Structure 1
Amino acid sequence: MHQAGKADKMTVPGTNTSGHGSASASAPEEKQASSGARRSAVLVHDRALEAYGFGGGHPFNPLRIRLTLELCEALGLISAPSYVSAEPATDEDLTTVHSLNYVRRVQGCNEPGADLADLLAYGIGSDDNPIFTDMHRACAHVVGAVLEASRLVMRGEVEHAMCISGGLHHAHRSRASGFCVYNDAGVAISRLKEEYPGIRIAYLDTDAHHGDGVQWMFYDDPEVLTISMHETGRYLFPGTGDVDEKGGGEAAGYSVNVPLEPFTHDESWIETFEAVVPEALRAFKPDIVISQNGCDGHALDPLTHLSATMRLYEHIPRRVHDLVHELCDGRWVATGGGGYDIWRVVPRAWTALWCAVSHQPLPQELPGDWLLERGLQSPVRLPETMLDALEDFPPVARAREIEERNRRTADEVLRKVVARIS
């Protein structure tokens, strides 16, 4: 769904469009007027969304979502009114970015006599993306939830919306990839572009893996800015995300990739984030930010080679929160993403995300009841504090060399890519 040509910035509730175009959409104002003051934050989730998982010993385990929500509830950070449910995405939604042939393959993959060789050509039934029961419905439900979160924000009903079942950023137009079958952010972006002509959407991805699926869907579209900070593809799936992948045609500069060195630690990651992300977002001037918040860059994650701690996963959402209020009247949709240490890392990282989304301080300690109940089930000892103890994560070898390489990468991104955003 590549689109060329740059439209003026649209007018949405509360946006100052001075210096930009005035193409307007009346629906947001009408909705906001009828519903009163917008709510601060909602969490788009219901138990059916936890059906998205590949079973057995597959690393993508929906238990991580249940653990996160139970932790937030035990800490008193979520109450029933915070939750909003959503319907699965329709075929019409899905085919804004996926081919109809592909959607039909996913829909038919559970049928008796399904052609497994044909499905495999679409990435369905591979080791990464094995077939599971009611696969289409579970995948479409995730897309529908992120789409609902995006519409709630754009209609002016809430400032921020979070959907941690989302973040399936590797799915391509006609191929499942990297535990991702349908691309929830891709559909949400495409639908918002249809419903709000001229909208400028920033997609920010801080998963350890490159946000390739979203990038390629909008690679030639100057109304969509994609920013991905990830471990360099020299060593990690999907092998893409080099600095020179910077967008095509009139969108040159609108795909911002920041490949980080293996074993990048908190200080270097934060320094690189602060060097690139605020400048790119300020240059682009988005109407809404959709962030993918994979937490698989943590030192304990089994699938990557990065060395972050919870300090990073407290910092990033807090800074994104600051930036969306600075740049786009607080319009922010936050999704989940990768994260494969489901006991020690994911619940704490996404609790920190919810705290930023919902304007709540991050608690220092995990609740005793939750630790007792889940600690009996966990195969590893659970941390008792929200942030990691520094002594548990000693300085990485070659830290200064890693820092210098990441600084050079950030400088290159700013010179080659961000300087072209307007």
Structure 2
Amino acid sequence: MHTALTMSSGLRTAFIYSPRFLEFDYGPGHPLRNERLGLTYDLISACELWSLPSTCSVEPEPATDDELLVFLKPDYLKMLKMADAGHAPVEAFRYGLGTPDNPILPGIYRWSALVAGASLRAMRLVESGEVARAFNISGGLHHAGPGRASGFCYINDAALIIADLCRRGHRVAYVDIDAHHGDGVQWAFYDTNQVLTLSIHESGNTLFPGTGFVGEIGEGKGEGYAVNIPLPPSADDEIFLWCFDEVIPPLVDAFHPDILVTQLGIDAHLTDPLSHVGISLGAFVHAVRRLKDLCSRWVALGGGGYDQRNVARAWTAAWAVMNDCELPASLPQSFLDRHKEIEWGDTSFIDAPAIIEGTEKARAWEEARDTVECLRRSAFPRHGI
């Protein structure tokens, strides 16, 4: 299944994947289904995106204690290990464990360490120059803090790899397009100018985690290096893409990162059950294409996505973009035959644009323009724009 990694001069991309990703289950009724990872892998296979001479698929290993302690607090790591058997002391609740979002179940530590190890593997391949771009679809668990689980996330792999890069002096730009604010990453680097965090998401007024407002711009040396684009819940393709293009490329260009880390959650899609904004897969792909052009070294992570049909489409499309490949117009028949249990409806690969009209759209435009103008006054001058 997995191609051995070599130092071939023609190697450009790496996909980090293991069947072990599917061994952990958040439990019945939980919105986050790891089956989406296997579904994505199958769709990439059906689209023949493994056979490219410039790419490889890499099996990860779990992160070690020393690797995890670059970001995690020792007492939290100890508590995670205790919870791995499926039970933990009462005080585990103080660490965000044992909630409906972050249940205590057998294997939570082992699975989280494997996901973190996969992101570390992606980061090291890119940092070393073995590949220019790497993708870990299991990653992007952006809500967890150094001492606390939150929002389905036990170990914040994005913050972990950024912290590891910072130890070696790299400047890192982090771009998060998940419908939910990338709070755990923002707060981890809120007071440093070594990391630029940008998050475009549904406003915290209407969606978890209730943060990510335009006034959160960093503090101390980090002032102007935390950038948030909170979207009104009625935002569509036009508003999402305008805000994205007006803010993210110019700031990343001005920052000149050594490495770009992105969180490619697809829960802002129109059909996703856990958000209110409604973009299309076409808008998602446009954003990913723009991200590809921002830095020569790119680590992509997965993230949110609770309509499995569109998770598979979106992350397959992102992998195609990373490899400069075109997608088929429709889902391959071999893939549909393999997953007959899923009601696919329209089998087009990319759906129609998501556009709304009327007074609701006018109000959304006004809010979006105010947000961008606020950032032009507060964050842009810090970067000479």
1:14 match: none
TM-superposed CA distance for 1:114, in Å, is 2.8
Q: How does 1:179-198 map to 2 (within 5 A)?
A: 179-194=152-167, 196-197=168-169
Q: Does 1:173 align with 2:146?
A: yes
SS at match of 2:218: coil
1:377 aligns with: 341
Distance in 2, Cα, partners of 1:130 & 1:296: 21
SS in 2 for 1:277: helix
Unaligned runs of 5+ in 1: 1-33, 325-329
Is the partner of 2:28 in helix, strand or coil?
A: coil
CA distance in 2, matches of 1:373, 1:347: 14
- Does the 8 Å contact 2:85/2:106 carry over to 1? no
1:78 is matched by which residue type in structure 2? W
Instruction: Tell me if the contact between 2:238 and 2:355 (Cα under 8 Å) persists in the aligned partners.
Output: no
- Give the partner amino acid of 1:154: E
TM normalised by structure 2 equals 0.94
Which segments of 5 or more consecutive residues in structure 2 lack a partner in the other structure? 1-5
Match status 1:109 vs 2:83: yes
Matched, 1:388 2:348: no
Match in the other structure for 2:368: 406
Q: Within 1, Cα distance between the matches of 2:46 and 2:27?
A: 27
Task: Tell me which residue corresponds to 1:304.
Answer: 275
- Aligned-pair CA distance for 1:132: 2.0
Aligned residue for 2:349, secondary structure, equals coil
Equivalent residue for 2:33, pick from 61, 71, 91: 61
Deviation string for 1:291-332 (max 9, x for gaps)?
Answer: 0000000110000000101111111111111222xxxxx100
CA distance in structure 2 between the partners assigned to 1:396 and 1:193 by the alignment: 44
Please say if residues 86 and 105 of structure 2, whose CA atoms lie closer than 8 Å, have aligned partners that are also in contact: no
Q: In the alignment, which residue of structure 2 is the partner of 1:336?
A: 302
Query: What is the CA–CA distance in structure 2 between the aligned matches of 1:420 and 1:313, rounded to whole Å?
Result: 28
Counterparts of 1:138-287 in structure 2 under 5 Å?
Answer: 138-194=111-167, 196-197=168-169, 199-287=170-258
Residues 138-187 of structure 1: CA deviation (Å, up to 9, x unaligned): 10110111011011001000010000000000001111000000010111
Secondary structure of the 2:230 match is strand
Runs of 4+ in 1 over 4 A off after TM superposition: none
The CA RMSD over aligned residues, in Å, is 1.7
Q: Give the counterpart of 1:83 among 50, 57, 63.
A: 57
Contact persistence 2:259–2:298 (CA under 8 A) = yes
Give the whole-Å Cα distance in 2 for the aligned partners of 1:331 and 1:364.
29
Question: Does 2:103 correspond to 1:133?
Answer: no
Q: Name the counterpart of 2:71.
A: 97
Letter in 1 for 2:216: E
Query: Structure 2: how far apart are the matches of 1:122 and 1:79?
Result: 44
Q: 1:113 to 1:266 in 2, by over 3 A?
A: closer
Hey, what's the Cα distance between the residues in 1 that align with 2:93 and 2:334?
Answer: 45
Contact 1:167 1:185 (8 Å CA) reproduced = yes
C-alpha displacement of 1:251? 1.0
- Equivalent position of 2:380 in the other structure: 418
**Distance (whole Å) between structure 2 residues aligned to residue 164 and residue 245 of structure 1:** 28
How far off is 1:111 after superposition?
A: 4.1
Residue in structure 2 matching 1:360, options 325, 331, 334 = 325
Bigger Cα displacement from structure 2, 360-369 vs 304-313: 360-369
Deviation of 1:401 (Å): 2.2
CA gap 1:259/1:367 in 2 versus in 1, 3 angstroms: same
2:305 partner letter: G
Could you tell me the percent identity over the aligned residues?
41
Instruction: State whether residues 256 and 418 of structure 1, in contact with CA within 8 Å, keep that contact through their aligned partners in structure 2.
Output: no
Match of 2:20 in 1: 48
2:88–2:104: 8 Å Cα contact kept in structure 1?
no
| Structure 2 CA distance for aligned equivalents of residues 267 and 291 of structure 1 | 21
The alignment status of 1:350 with 2:350, answered yes or no, reads no
Q: Distance in 2 between matches of 1:265 and 1:129?
A: 30
- Say if 2:85 and 2:105, in contact at 8 Å, map to a contact too: no
Letter in 2 for 1:228: S
Q: 2-side partners of 1:279 and 1:334: how far apart?
A: 20
Using structure 1 for the length normalisation, give the TM-score. Answer: 0.86
CA distance in 2, matches of 1:192, 1:395: 41
Report what 2:3 is aligned to.
none
Distance 2:268 2:23 in 1: 25
Stretch moving more, 287-296 or 242-251: 242-251
Shift of 1:112: 7.7
What is the CA distance between 1:49 and its match in structure 2?
2.2
